[in-house]
Amino acid sequence: MTVKDAVKDENIVWHQHSVTKDTRSTLKNQKPAVLWFTGLSGAGKSTIAGALEIKLAELGYHTYLLDGDNVRHGLCQDLGFSDHDRQENIRRIGELAKLMADAGLIVLSAFISPHRVERQMVRELLPEGEFLEVFVNTSLDECEKRDPKGLYKKARAGEIKHFTGIDSEYQSPVNPEIDLPAGSESINVLVEQCLEELKVRGIIK
């Protein structure tokens, strides 16, 4: 059964609470947003998202960083890496990010999320302008050179199946809100690029 086929109990209704997203955002002096960092394994998604979160915290903004490995230790620990499980993994993260944005947070989400349809699914959960696709644009060659976890070596040896970029497709964003040349620029430059885009969009001041 797919997510769309899931049957909702007619007795379950959405409760509209008195304290709204606008109230929570005003208290935090920021606009909520979800920055969705996507790219190959080893591209630098978590590193850049982590550095950006540090900078935002220094500036007084309220954030939360969702990282692929961390989420699979808890929320998605029951999921494998089949196409179906990967889609469910992204669906759960998308719903969680939506709730965090409703709390008025700037959410930094670092996941390979290889398929455009999955990223579009998350985009459609959020109001217009609240989802920012951040393409951590690092070539496969560069990612393989880095190989911080030794995963590419294992994938090339056939020890890991369905590894993104090797025997499983990665679909690059077509028109991301932020395109980070992570294979050629420093972390500081990339973080500043993200901050500038957040300022232009009025998410931070």
For the annotated catalytic residues, the residue numbers are 113
What distance in Å separates the CA atoms of residue 101 and residue 63, rounded to the nearest whole number? 9
Residue 178: its H or E element: strand 178-180
For residue 153, give both structure tokens. 């070596």
For residue 116, give both structure tokens. 């455009």
**Helices and strands (H, E) in the chain, number of each type:** 8, 5
What distance in Å separates the CA atoms of residue 66 and residue 93, rounded to the nearest whole number? 8
Strand 131-136 and strand 106-110: the pairing is unpaired
Q: Where are the beta strands (DSSP E) in 1-130?
A: 33-38, 63-67, 106-110
Residue type, 77: Q
Strand partners of residue 184: none
The CA dihedral of 109, 107, 76, 139, to the nearest 10 degrees, is: 0
Q: Assess contact for 73 and 183: CB atoms under 8 A.
A: no
